[in-house]
Chains A and B, each alone.
Chain A
Amino acid sequence: MIQKILSYDTPRSIALSMLLLCIFAGLALAPFLFPGVRTVDTAARICIFIVLVASYDLLLGYGGIVSFAHTMFFGVGAYSVALTSLHLGRGFDALILGAAIGAVLATCLAAAIGLFSLRVRAIFFAMITLAVASALAVLVSQFSDLTGGEDGLTFKLPRELGPAFKFGQTLFDGTVFGVKLNGKLLTYYLVFGTSLVLFLITLRLVNAPFGRVLQAIRENEFRAEAIGYRVVHYKIAATCLSAAIASCAGALYAIWLRYVGPSTTLSLELMIDILLILVIGGMGTIYGAVIGATLFLLTENYLQAAMGRLTSGIGDIPVVSALLSPDRWLLWMGILFIVSVYCFPKGIVGHFRKDP
């Protein structure tokens, strides 16, 4: 049963399985194990980033295609949910319609970019996606009438997902293990459940024959073509699928934050975070997304605070304190990124998992 749910692609390492199980349990029970606004928020972000990074893994780890437009698809999903909720009024139909429109739009965009760039040279794709994604980010901040510009958009969720909505008053007296049963809890489980489903879909995709062909293309494109697979078709299909999943993740992110803005959904920093998570977690494994996202977001939240304390402890040695200030977090991540590409190209998961 578990085998079937995981598409017969088990972690294949006891340590890794334990780790994944811990993360799963932690996320599934987050509101009860770690009550508190900030921890639950971190848990929800982890769920969403797992999906986002897993969908990127489908492209980068399995297909060997470097794209810098993944945040663009993420943003498309987020913005379409926000816009439909604003214009159609609060309601589940608006959310579902927004997510669907976002997914379709992201797929079309991905197909268009893929069609005119992947057929020439794979390396064009990386450059063109970077250019297109930056152009879209600029457009979003310029057309502020529609998108709210730099300030972004705040929108309302259906009443059932708001903190004011209470349920289970008669049955559980409104609380379970001291946790209030309200709309926020429902939203968390909506995010968690959808993320889990999307993650399993991604796992299924890469373990289907489709994923095998992608791996073949990554390893030797020429040979894959010679065997008779239409390489370009597979690459475009991979791009579209990962774009659709990323836009669903974006929709979830918008629902969780009840806000969309260019810096949270479209920025290049976010793209770099995705790359970091994937490389540190392990490319081409899907499980790498889980480990990487959890580790990255936890350290981002708690290590930055630690760095802040460290700098105030050191005092004011000119360069050292500038290097260690929490704002320079990206510097250390960048160095870690380069080192991990050189020394652990398979990431944490690849380290644990000794493939035949």
Chain B
Amino acid sequence: MTHAPEHNPQIQQMTLQQRLAPAWPGLLVPLLMCAGFALTLNPSSWLTLTLSGLAMGLMIFIMASGMTLVFGLMDVINFGHGAFVSLGAFVGVSVLFALGHLTAAPSVALNLLAVLMAICAGMAATALAGWAFERVIVKPVQGNHLNQILVTVGGLIVAEQLIIVLWGPEEIYFTRPEALKGSFIIGSIAVEKFRLVAVCIGIVVFAAMHFVLRRTKIGLIVRAGVQNGEMVEALGYRLRQVFVAVFVTGCALAGLGGVMWALYQEVITAHMGNQAMILIFIVVIIGGLGSIEGCFIGALLVGLLQNYVAFVEPKLALVSNIGLMVAILVWRPMGLIPVVKAK
């Protein structure tokens, strides 16, 4: 009988680089903020830009999160997602017009009530439209990417044209409710009120989404479904219903994003969804299809970069985002936080 070979295992400390590796995607945001500071070299304009970048990023996150979850869960790519952004904006703004006496009132509470009602109306309308869209457009082509892309693009065209039929082809200009106009002046820094509200709503939505996905049973099913749908179905859950629920929620979130985007820009057009769509795609790809955290980080990066670059050279803002996407795809081909798929 031979002795076992000498063998004394050692536990080696992880190097700093190894420990940092999983945190890298999250660290990109503060890094980009520092880079932005180096670019502007002016604390007050840097703060203004950072705030507006965060506001924009969070709005994009709200719009993009539904799309990335739908993809992760059911492998459905929805090119018509932008239509819900436009629809939410149009419904929300119509409600704001209808509540003119509330938005013009000098009371902050009444103003916020009007905005809240506009948001609720926008989300309800897009949720309903999303349910119909899923039924008519998405369901029959599940499992076939080529047809999915074609049909959802068709759905986008039809939805956009229907918006034009209902609201007319002209751009609609409006002003924000009194309480959200203007900005606070703190020292030498101007903080636009609406941006602050947008940041708050965005953080609340992200926190709520994080809570639902990480702490509740339905969130567990959704996350498990993203990782391995067949297994979840084998355990007896009807993933199809979960999927419809996620799709409708995603559309409602797109509607919320649309209302906020409309309030941010103070003008709405039927094509605004298409324009938002470009940023949504970039964010979803940067974050890794199917990943909420990745989508969050990606959205912040895109929003910040867009604002910093627009400050230095306005013409290059959109191009810089494409550059960011290319750089991240070269670094991590599956996106910042790839979702492991059994497929």
Contacts and interface: CB of A to CB of B under 8 A. Distances in A.
Interface of A: 60, 64, 66, 116-117, 119-124, 126-128, 130-132, 134-135, 138-139, 142-143, 268, 272, 275, 279, 319, 322-323, 327-328, 330-331, 333-335, 337-338, 341-342, 345
Interface stretch (B16-24, B88-96, B157-165, B186-194): B157-165
A330 B163 CA distance: 12
Contacts of B164: 327-328
B179 to A, nearest CB: 34
Interface stretch (B43-51, B104-112, B325-333): B325-333
A282 to B, nearest CB: 13
A338 B155 contact: yes
A142 B147 contact: no
Given A117-B329, A330-B161, A66 B149 contact: yes
Given A120-B334, A272-B153, A338-B151, A135 B318 contact: yes
A342 B169 CA distance: 29
B147 A345 contact: yes
B315 interface: yes
Contacts of A116: 326, 329-330
8 contacts: A66-B150, A128-B325, A132-B322, A135-B318, A139-B315, A322-B165, A337-B157, A338-B137
Contacts of A337: 150, 154, 157
A281 B78 CA distance: 24
Q: Is the interface of A mostly helix, strand, loop or mixed?
A: helix
Q: Is the interface of B mostly helix, strand, loop or mixed?
A: helix
Contact of A139 (B145, B154, B282, B319): B319
Nearest to B275: A134
A127 B285 contact: yes
Interface of B: 77, 79, 137, 140-141, 145-147, 149-151, 153-155, 157-158, 161-162, 164-165, 169, 274-275, 277-278, 281-282, 284-285, 289, 315, 318-319, 321-322, 325-326, 329-330, 333-334
B157 A122 contact: no
A334 B329 contact: no
Contact of B315 (A123, A127, A143): A143
Given A130-B281, A131-B278, A131-B322, A119 B333 contact: yes
Given A127-B285, A131-B278, 20 more contacts: A120-B333, A121-B289, A123-B289, A124-B285, A126-B79, A130-B281, A134-B274, A134-B275, A134-B278, A134-B318, A139-B319, A275-B153, A333-B157, A334-B154, A334-B158, A337-B157, A338-B137, A338-B154, A341-B150, A342-B141
A327 B284 CA distance: 33
A279 B147 CA distance: 10
A250 B233 CA distance: 50
A66 B275 CA distance: 20
Contact of B322 (A126, A135, A330, A338): A135
Nearest to A278: B150
Contacts of A322: 165
A131 B283 CA distance: 11
A331 B278 contact: no
A279 B79 CA distance: 17
A190 B161 CA distance: 37
A331 B322 CA distance: 31
Contacts of A327: 164, 169
Given A127-B284, A131-B322, A272 B150 contact: no
A135 B151 CA distance: 24
Nearest to A112: B326
B77 A123 contact: yes
Contacts of B137: 338
Given A116-B326, A116-B330, A127-B284, A341 B147 contact: yes
The 5 closest A-B pairs by CB, nearest first: A334-B157, A331-B161, A338-B154, A334-B158, A337-B154
A147 to B, nearest CB: 12
A119 B282 CA distance: 17
Nearest to A133: B278
Contacts of A330: 157, 161
A182 B275 CA distance: 45
B161 A120 contact: no
Nearest to B137: A338
A251 B161 CA distance: 31
B320 to A, nearest CB: 10
A126 B149 contact: yes
Contacts of A342: 140-141, 151
Contacts of A279: 150
Contacts of B161: 328, 330-331, 334
Contacts of A122: 145
Nearest to A65: B146
Contacts of B77: 123, 126-127
Contacts of A338: 137, 151, 154-155, 158
A322 B167 CA distance: 10
Nearest to A127: B281
Contacts of B325: 128, 131
A334 B154 CA distance: 5
Nearest to B282: A131
A341 B277 contact: no
Contacts of A143: 315
Q: Give the residue among A131, A143, A328 with the most B Cβ atoms within 10 A.
A: A131
A323 B165 contact: yes
Contacts of A134: 274-275, 278, 318
Contacts of B315: 139, 142-143
A64 B161 CA distance: 28
Contacts of B275: 134
A128 B285 CA distance: 8
A130 B81 CA distance: 14
